[in-house]
Amino acid sequence: MHPSSPTSAFRAAAGALTTTIAVSVPVFLVGGLAVQIGDELEFSPAGLGLAVSAYFGASALASVPAGHLVERFGATRVSRAGIALASASLLGVAAFATSLWSLIAILALGAGANAMGQLASNTTLSRHVPPRRQGLSFGIKQAAIPVATLLSGASVPVIALTLGWRWAFVFVAVLAAGALFLVPAEPPALHKKAAKGAKQATGALIVVGVGATLAGASANALGTFLVDSAVARGIAPGPAGLALTLGSAVCVTARILGGWLADRRPDSSIAVIAGLLVTGAVGLGLLAVPGGLPLVAGVVLGFGFGWSWPGLMNFAVVRLHPQAPAAATSITQTGVYAGGCVGPLGLGAVATTTSYPTMWVVAAVAMLAAAGAMLLGSHLLRRHTPVIKPA
């Protein structure tokens, strides 16, 4: 496509979807192949948790700089750079990961790809998808994350158990590189730096980011500790895993449906996020109650709804900052990544020193606090930032 040609909404959405999958797949592939990698590199589940936390911590540190890169050089260049970095990270793990620490180093070096691809995709959607369809497009983009998880899980029987886990990383690196051809071009005029509006509302965005940290920490802990906590309460690992799968399916549906509804009531997006977080907090509280039924209900509410809000958050922030979408969402995205980093570590420490039921109560309280922060951030955004619709 010639750079001056207009980009269709479909092409923009397809490029954002494939870019998101490509830049986020490295950490999920490590999780999917943890058994095989851990056997060879000799690390425990605690080592896996450290590697994942380091990845999201590095993503959080890279988020704001990546937002400035997108505003400076444009979504197309940064998307392609992020995909290339993610592919290089996958190949690096395949070739050079010989210990837990080398694995952590390679993942951390490649974590910037996640921030670059996510923020560039946000910009692509904000500039090429009509405002009346942006909520749905952001919902679909965020639903791509479970697709990366699915791809990682499928690689176990298809490649890792036949050719070895290193070849699985090579194969996925090639697939990720294929996303380069789906990144839409954009006219140079579209990526002129214009971040004044984002700077004016930085305080409000930080409040929303704090809410995202608390919510992300609680939701990430559910995926990390659910099976182990269920087994500790006398529930078999199989049913616990199926409950988490059900919660994931509900989460995917809720992300897409929430985006579709946001297009119809765009002014209430962050209020809806707060409602989802309150519902999620109820679910996390139910996980402290013994029994199979509270487990299923808790996972569906806690994970299915309590982790369905990232697309809505990006949509709301981009809608209020169309002149600098990457710079604005880089601040809130930092919160999401920070939650992914500190959640499993902090709540894991709570579970170790007290008990899993206590940990779930703490996670529920944190998610309620996240709902309050989202409402406060919404108020501040409306107070300081006028709604400006893209031309």
d(CA 2, CA 331): 32
pLDDT at 316: 86
Q: Mean of the pLDDT values across residues 245-271?
A: 83
Q: Mean of the pLDDT values across residues 6-17?
A: 82
Cβ proximity of 33 and 160 under 8 Å = yes
Classify residue 317 by its DSSP letter: H
Shortest CA distance to 234 belongs to which of 352, 356, 348?
356
Buried b (16+ CB within 10 A) or exposed e, 172-210: bbebbbebeebbbbbeeeebeeebebbeebeebbbbbbb
Cβ proximity of 122 and 327 under 8 Å = no
Q: Which of 2-6, 75-79, 365-369 has the lowest mean pLDDT?
A: 2-6
Rounded (10°) CA dihedral 232, 234, 238, 243: -80
373: amino acid identity, one letter? A
Q: Mean of the pLDDT values across residues 348-353?
A: 85
Tokens linked to 157: 């029987």
Q: What rounded mean pLDDT belongs to the chain?
A: 84
Shortest CA distance to 313 belongs to which of 219, 211, 198?
211
pLDDT at 151: 65
119: amino acid identity, one letter? L
Q: Mean of the pLDDT values across residues 119-147?
A: 85
Cα angle 55, 60, 63 (rounded to 5 degrees) comes to: 120
pLDDT beyond 80 at 112: yes
Tokens linked to 102: 């080398």
**Euclidean distance between the first and final Cα of the chain, in Å?**
22
Quick: pLDDT tens for 294-316: 888 998 898 889 888 988 898 88
User: Angle of helix 112-128 relative to helix 325-353, nearest 10 degrees?
Assistant: 140
pLDDT at 195: 43
pLDDT at 50: 86
- Cα Rg of the chain (Å, integer): 20
What is the set of domains in the chain, with CATH numbers? 9-187 (1.20.1250.20), 196-384 (1.20.1250.20)
Which pLDDT band holds residue 99 (cuts at 50, 70, 90)? Answer: very high
214-218, 318-322, 380-384: which has the highest mean pLDDT? 214-218
Rounded (10°) CA dihedral 286, 290, 291, 296: 30
Q: Which residues contact 130 (CB under 8 A, 6 or more apart)?
A: 9
Burial of 247 (0-12, 13-18, 19+ CB in 10 A): buried
pLDDT beyond 70 at 28: yes
7-11, 55-59, 345-349: which has the highest mean pLDDT? 55-59
Shortest CA distance to 70 belongs to which of 56, 87, 61, 82?
82
Q: Mean of the pLDDT values across residues 256-266?
A: 86
pLDDT at 155: 66
Q: Sign of the C-alpha dihedral, residues 113, 114, 119, 125?
A: positive
Q: What pTM value is reported for the model?
A: 0.83
Shortest CA distance to 244 belongs to which of 257, 225, 259?
225
Quick: pLDDT tens for 141-189: 888 776 666 666 666 666 767 788 899 899 889 999 999 999 988 765 5
Shortest CA distance to 106 belongs to which of 19, 22, 30?
30
Which pLDDT band holds residue 80 (cuts at 50, 70, 90)? Answer: very high
Quick: pLDDT tens for 216-231: 999 887 777 777 778 7
Q: Which of 28-32, 167-171, 339-343 has the lowest mean pLDDT?
A: 28-32
Q: What percent of the chain has pLDDT over 90?
A: 33
244: amino acid identity, one letter? L
pLDDT at 150: 63
Which pLDDT band holds residue 384 (cuts at 50, 70, 90)? Answer: low
Which pLDDT band holds residue 271 (cuts at 50, 70, 90)? Answer: confident
H or E stretch covering 20: helix 9-32
Rounded (10°) CA dihedral 343, 165, 145, 82: 100
pLDDT at 349: 84
pLDDT at 202: 78
Q: Which residues contact 281 (CB under 8 A, 6 or more apart)?
A: 218, 302, 306, 364, 365, 367, 368, 371
